[in-house]
Amino acid sequence: MKNIDSKGHVTGKSLYLDDIPIQQGTLHALAVDSPVAHGRVRSLDISEAAKSEGVVRVFTHEDIPGENQIGGIVPDEPLLAEDEVHFCGQPVALIVGESEHACRRAREKVKFEIDEKPPITDPREAKEKGELIIPPRTFQNGDTESVWDSCAYVFEGQADSNGQEHLYIETQGAYSWPAENGNIKIATSTQGPTAVQRTAAQVLGLGMHNVEVDVIRLGGGFGGKEDQATPWAVMVALAVYHLNKPVKMAMHRMDDMRMTGKRHPYSSDYKIGLDKNLNIIAYEATMHQNAGAAADLSPAVMERSLFHANNSYFIPNTKVTAYSCRTNLPPNTAFRGFGGPQGMFVIESAIAHAAREIGVPKHRIQEKNLLKDGDEFHYGQAVEQSQARSSWSDAVETFDLPKIQKEIEDFNEAHHWKKKGLALQPVCFGISFTKTQMNNARALVHIYHDGSVGVSTGAVEMGQGVNTKLLQVAAYTFGIAPERVRIDTTNTSRVANTSPTAASAGADLNGKALEMACLKLRERLAEVAADQLDASPDSITIKDETFYVDGSPSELSWEKMVHQAFMDRVSLSEKAHYATPVIHFDKEKEKGHPFAYHVYGTAILVVTLDCLRGTYQFDTVKIVHDCGKSISPMVDNGQIEGGLVQGIGWMTLEELDYDEQGRLRSNALSTYKIPDIYSVPETIEVKHLETEGHDLAIRKSKAVGEPPLMYGLGAYFAIQDAVLAFNPHATLKFDAPFTHEKVLMALYEGKEAGVKDAAELS
Ligand code: MTE
Ligand code: HPA
Ligand code: MOS
């Protein structure tokens, strides 16, 4: 099964927000944002901008009829700033005009008088000053305090990971127009149509029934449109509310980069203790999450960092604490992995530290401590169907790790100015929204009386292929050709109260609801067929568009049967609601069973360093990944490759740079480098682990969206391995991304020999 969007994408026929035909009289909107990171707004003069040619209106917070509040978890974020600004890029006004160009010209005429206050950009400083979004949380098992003394080795250090720009190809945007009786329609590029609907209603003082949100597809979201697609959609709706005309906003890349939040940077301290056989006995970590100026999804992201603090390892004594620190950066938000990668970077750093000091390869410690069935996660969930060890040994065997190691050794012996490095990267990622209540979805299915099928769910297509999987679920459950099925847009009038498409759970949650709805219809059709064929309903099955009785094909085709049911006045529409069973979590005890299941896998990464330039190239990444029983291997492989490369980018090239004034300096594609065709690994090999899948995964095909990103963590440690091959004196730092500049510094750090080598070269 090919991705159903592939043809549309390569021919340019797929529709995105900016392809929606413009209605006559459409106006354009542009946000005016704060030029400073922190201050009191003494005056905001919009009079010149309002008079500017082509401008229709300039809106401020005073024009908001309902609540000036868009915070989802904590109500701490205004749509348009009032008397204080908290980050550079914070929206303070909205210009609406006849063209985007007119709005841009007018934006230059807005005058601010802001009494500046010192901004905080560092999460540790924020913590010192008591600037916390929520109280800290601690997850623990065993008792770390009591075992440090019995450890043969104890190491402490710091591990920092920087943020990451989502860089969805389609920037944020929305198009809204008035409907009858004061109702408003919003087409937008969001992962969370219900969040847009709820927030628009709240800001406009309307009921949710007054707002209809429709999403065709996204040109990428990656978490950046889970919460942060909302303000732009609500802004255009605000303009529609007042002007009663269609209004559109499609953000320029630099506006988008400046005004929106990103992956959270983390600064963490760790302490790790091992026995002499390399068993990890104890692990402590304190994580400082740079939340930015408002909560957004930070509390939930922080929680997932705690859940994944031990990655794929069993550690009998763990104590991990996280602080969500309020700074004067744009509110940081969901990004593929949702805090998991940040938590895992710390344990991987601690293991790398221990390996260096003890003098063993990092992967010896990793392998020794992999989870197995019968273990318990530090949050209380039992480890079941663990593929940590099987994916590891499968990768080692399939890809012949000893041979790879020998090749690296030989290469490093033969080359002085080039060194290769190796890393193994296991991943264990929990599937479910960490907030139990969010794990629900609905589907609405119509069988049209010509036998074709229309499907609506709450899932949003953002390139991950969820629509392809949903289409397969409908086609398989009915036993009909995929061509008969159409997946409709995601629309709040057809499917209500949806969770965002996130947490990698889009296909599971919506797929399960869809399967339930299809099964109800199939049963109903079986009853009509039984009548027609004089058989009992349980003897009826459908395969290849034919009704079977006790396993033998009948005369009745799908098309005939559907038409008959229609003539018999049988309902051909159904809906269903699915809520993940089993899961629960007790936030008092910080224990429970939060995840439906876990996804596992292991990657082997090999990098070649140019030790003169500090540049590097990944030779290969070889992955054994647990997809369960994949229904869409091509889609899944696309997710695995894409996730991996995005993770490598985060760990290597992508360097977010805010200056001390809280201004984003890496604010364009010229200053923010993401992996391109030249910097991706020369080869990527993916093998699916043979497993049974899981009953809570859709048709046993396990969720795949986020976990592969974390294979990218190995990039950092592969580079570190190569640096050490060249310069055994380099001090180990854990400060991602490992950019070429940092590599160059590390290659020659404390290396008098380096000077000599350079002399030798000349
Ligand atoms: N793949 C593409 N092509 N584009 C995206 O925006 N988002 C990722 C992942 N894969 C994304 C993607 C993120 S952050 C998540 S949570 C999942 O897809 C969401 O989709 P799913 O739940 O259907 O896996
Ligand atoms: N993952 C992704 N998005 C979320 C989650 C989660 O666990 N919780 C709330 N939003
Ligand atoms: Mo994904 S970060 O859960 O949108």
Question: 342 burial class (0-12, 13-18, 19+ CB within 10 angstroms)?
Answer: buried
**Tell me, what's the pLDDT at 762?**
43
Cα-only R_g, the chain:
27
Question: 440-579 in CATH: which number?
Answer: 3.30.365.10
Q: DSSP code of 629?
A: S
Q: Is the CB of 504 under 6 A from ligand 1?
A: yes
The confidence score (pLDDT) of residue 446 equals 98
Say if ligand 2 is within 6 A of residue 503 CB: yes
Q: Express each pLDDT in 514-541 by its tens digit.
A: 999 999 999 999 999 999 999 999 999 9
Looking at the domain 16-118+170-259, which fold is it? Aldehyde Oxidoreductase; domain 3 (3.90.1170)
Tell me the per-residue pLDDT of 425-458, one tens digit each, with 9 for 90 and over: 999 999 999 999 999 999 999 999 999 999 999 9
Please, which pLDDT band fits residue 751 given cuts at 50, 70 and 90? confident
- Helix 340-358, helix 298-307: angle, nearest 10: 40
Question: Is the fold of 381-436+591-762 the same as that of 440-579?
Answer: yes
CA 81/CA 231 separation, integer angstroms: 12
Our measurement of the distance from residue 180's CA atom to the centroid of its chain's CA atoms, rounded to an integer in Å, reads 37
Banded model confidence at residue 750, pLDDT cuts 50, 70, 90: confident
Sequence-ordered strand ranges (E) for 531-588 = 540-543, 546-549, 552-557, 573-579, 584-586
Number of H helices, E strands in the chain: 20, 30
Which of 196, 188, 345, 360 minimizes the C-alpha distance to 266? 345
The answer to whether residue 706 is catalytic is yes
Name the residue at shortest CA distance from atom 4 of ligand 3: 223
Q: Over the stretch 307-339, which tens digit does the pLDDT of each residue have? A: 999 999 999 999 999 999 999 999 999 999 999
Pseudo-torsion of CA 557, 558, 562, 564, nearest 10°?
Answer: 10
Q: Sort strands 153-161 and 735-736 into parallel, antiparallel or unpaired.
A: parallel
- With a 6 A CB cut-off, is 502 part of the ligand 3 pocket? yes
pLDDT at 208 over 70: yes
Determine if ligand 3 sits within 6 Å of the CB of residue 274: no
> Both tokens of residue 510?
């919506």
pLDDT number for residue 74: 97
Q: Is the pLDDT of residue 752 over 80?
A: no
| 503 Cα to the center of ligand 3, angstroms | 5
Tell me which CATH code domain 381-436+591-762 carries: 3.30.365.10
Q: Over the chain, what is the mean pLDDT?
A: 97
Per-residue pLDDT tens over the stretch 674-721: 999 999 999 999 999 999 999 999 999 999 999 999 999 999 999 999
**Reduced 3-state DSSP string for 740-759:** HHHHHHHHHCCCHHHHHHHH
- pLDDT, one tens digit per residue, over 151-200 is 999 999 999 999 999 999 999 999 999 999 999 999 999 999 999 999 99
Residue 305 Cα to ligand 3 middle (Å): 13
Domain positions in the chain are 16-118+170-259, 381-436+591-762, 440-579
Give start and end residues of each alpha helix (H) in 361-505: 362-368, 388-398, 401-414, 466-478
Residue from 461, 655, 706, 741 carrying the catalytic annotation: 706
One-letter amino acid at 174 equals A
What's the confidence (pLDDT) of residue 383? 98
Centroid of ligand 1 to alpha carbon of 626 (angstroms):
17
DSSP letter string over 201-241?
Answer: HHHHT--GGGEEEEE---S--TTTTTSTTHHHHHHHHHHHH
Place of tokens 């940040």: 342
Q: Which atom of ligand 2 is nearest to the CA of 303?
A: 7
Q: What is the dihedral of CA 500, 439, 2, 701, to 10 degrees?
A: 160
Environment class of residue 413 by beta-carbon count within 10 Å: exposed (0-12), middle (13-18) or buried (19+)? exposed
Over 90: is that where the pLDDT of 230 sits? yes
The per-residue pLDDT for range 551-602, each reduced to its tens digit, is 999 999 999 999 999 999 999 999 999 999 999 999 999 999 999 999 999 9
pLDDT of residue 756: 53
Q: Starting from the CA of residue 301, give the closest ligand.
A: 2
CB of 222 within 6 A of ligand 2: the answer is: no
Model confidence at 1, pLDDT cuts 50, 70, 90, reads confident
Cα–Cα distance, 17 to 492 (Å, whole number): 17
User: What is the Cα–Cα distance from 289 to 267, expressed in whole angstroms?
Assistant: 7
Q: Which atom of ligand 1 sits closest to the CA of residue 465?
A: 23
Position 617 scores a pLDDT of: 98
Check pocket membership of 662 for ligand 1, CB cut-off 6 A. no
First-to-final CA distance of the chain = 57
Give the pLDDT confidence score for residue 231 in this predicted structure.
98
pLDDT at 760: 53
**Which mutation among 264, 706, 709, 710 tests ligand 3's pocket best, with the greatest number of atoms within 8 A of CB?**
706
Mean pLDDT along residues 103-119 = 98
**C-alpha closest to that of 423 among 363, 347, 355, 364:** 363
Long-range contacts of 374-379 (CB under 8 A, 24+ apart): 375/314, 376/141, 377/307, 377/310, 378/139, 378/140, 378/141, 378/309, 378/310, 378/315, 378/318, 378/320, 379/139, 379/306, 379/307, 379/585, 379/590, 379/591, 379/592, 379/594
In this prediction, residues 459-474 reach a mean pLDDT of 98
Q: In this predicted structure, what is the pLDDT of residue 757?
A: 54
In the β-sheet with 211-215, what is the strand arrangement from edge to edge? 55-59, 91-97, 27-33, 247-250, 173-178, 184-188, 211-215, 490-491
For residue 576, give both structure tokens: 């269903």
Q: Residues 141, 342: contact at Cβ < 8 Å?
A: no
Amino acid at 640: I
Best residue for ligand 2 mutational test, from 73, 338, 439 (most atoms within 8 Å of Cβ): 338
Residue 275 in tokens:
């026995």
